[in-house]
Structure 1
Amino acid sequence: MTTGPLSVRPARADDPAEVDRIYDICLRTAAAGKDATGRFAEPRLVGDVFAGPYLAHSPDLAWVLAPGGAEGPPSPPVGYFLAVADTESFERDLEDAWWPRLRTRRAHRPVEPDTPDAWLRAHIDDPPPTPTDITARYPAHFHVDLLPEAQGGGNGRRLMSTAIDALRARGVPGVHLGVSTRNTNAIGFYTHVGFHVLLDGPDSKILGMPLS
Structure 2
Amino acid sequence: MIIRPYAPGDDAALYDICLRTGDNGGDASHLFTDPRLLGEIFVGPYLRFEPSLAFVVDDGAAAGYVLGARHTPSFEEACEQEWWPPLRRRYPRDSFPAGTRDAHYVEIIHERRNADPAIIDEYPAHLHIDMLPRAQGHGMGRALMERLLAALRDAGAPGVHLGVGAANVRAIGFYERMGFATLRASENGRVMARATT
Q: TM-score, normalised by structure 2?
A: 0.96
Instruction: Provide the rounded CA distance (Å) in 2 between the counterparts of 1:156 and 1:117.
Output: 28
Query: What's the % identity of the aligned pairs?
Result: 41
Pairwise mapping of residues 1-212 of structure 1 onto structure 2 (< 5 A)?
6-12=1-7, 14-15=8-9, 18-67=10-59, 75-107=60-92, 110-212=95-197
The residue type equivalent to 2:16 in the other structure is D
Q: Give unpaired runs (5+ residues) of structure 2.
A: none
Which letter maps to 2:36?
R
Q: Look up the SS of the partner of 2:127 in the other structure.
A: strand
What RMSD, in angstroms, separates the aligned Cα atoms of the two structures? 1.2
Cα deviation code 1:157-204 (max 9, x no counterpart): 011111111111122110000000000000001011110011112211
Offset of residue 119 of structure 1: 1.1
Residue matched to 1:3: none
Q: Cα deviations across residues 118-176 of structure 1 (Å, max 9, x unaligned)?
A: 11011000043221111111001010000000001211001111111111112211000
* SS of residue matched to 2:138: coil
Q: Secondary structure at the match of 2:126?
A: strand
State the 1:108 CA deviation. 7.9
AA in 2 matched with 1:103: R
Q: Which has the higher helix share?
A: 2
Structure 1 segments unaligned to the other structure (5+ residues): 1-5, 68-74
SS in 2 for 1:197: strand
How many residues get paired? Answer: 197
CA deviation after TM superposition for structure 1 residue 102, in Å: 0.1
* Secondary structure, aligned partner of 1:112: coil
> CA offsets, 1:57-111, max 9 Å, x none?
10010000002xxxxxxx3210000101000000011011101110011228631
Amino acid at match of 1:153: H
Q: Distance in 2 between matches of 1:125 and 1:137?
A: 28
C-alpha contact 2:185 2:191 (8 A) present in aligned 1: yes
Shift of 1:56: 0.5
State the 1:117 CA deviation. 0.6
CA–CA separation in structure 1 for the residues paired with 2:22 and 2:11: 16
Q: What CA distance in whole angstroms lies between the structure 1 residues aligned with 2:118 and 2:93?
A: 37
